[in-house]
Amino acid sequence: MRLHGGAVLAELTTRFGEQARAKVLSGEVVDADGAVIDAATVLPAGASVYLYRDLPDEVPVPFDIPVLYRDDDIVVVDKPHFLATMPRGSHVAQTALVRLRRELGLPELSPAHRLDRLTAGVLLFTARREVRGAYQMLFARGAVRKTYLAGAPVDPDLELPRVIVNRIIKRRSHLQAVIEPGAPNAETLVELSAPGLYRLTPRTGRTHQLRVHMASLGLPIIGDPLYPKVIDVAADDFSTPLRLLAQRIEFDDPFTGIRRMFLSRRTIDGFDAR
- Whether residue 141 sits in one domain with residue 18: no
Within a domain: residue 272? no
Give the DSSP H/E element, type plus range, for residue 248.
strand 244-252
CATH number for the domain that contains residue 107: 3.30.2350.10
- Whether residue 177 sits in one domain with residue 97: yes
At residue 261, the pLDDT reads 98
- Whether residue 199 sits in one domain with residue 111: yes
Within a domain: residue 60? no
Within a domain: residue 269? no
Mean pLDDT, 10 residues at a time, over the chain (274 residues)? Answer: 66 81 77 74 78 75 97 98 87 88 92 96 96 96 97 96 97 94 97 96 96 98 97 94 98 97 88 48
At residue 81, the pLDDT reads 97
- Whether residue 71 sits in one domain with residue 47: no
- 16-47 residues labelled b (16+ CB within 10 A) or e (exposed): eeeebbebbeeeebebeeeeebeeebebeeeb
- Whether residue 39 sits in one domain with residue 130: no
Within a domain: residue 172? yes
Within a domain: residue 236? yes
Within a domain: residue 41? yes
- Count how many domains the chain has: 2
- Whether residue 71 sits in one domain with residue 24: no
> Does residue 112 contact residue 136 with C-beta atoms inside 8 Å?
yes
Give the SS3 label for residue 35.
coil
- Whether residue 84 sits in one domain with residue 190: yes
Q: Which residues form the catalytic set?
A: 116
Q: Which residues contact 52 (CB under 8 A, 6 or more apart)?
A: 23, 28
- Whether residue 47 sits in one domain with residue 73: no
- Whether residue 26 sits in one domain with residue 107: no
> Does residue 119 contact residue 61 with C-beta atoms inside 8 Å?
no
Within a domain: residue 270? no
- Whether residue 248 sits in one domain with residue 134: yes
- Whether residue 107 sits in one domain with residue 7: no
Could you tell me the residue range of the domain that residue 42 belongs to? 2-51
Within a domain: residue 36? yes
- Whether residue 199 sits in one domain with residue 127: yes
Strands 49-50 and 259-263: unpaired
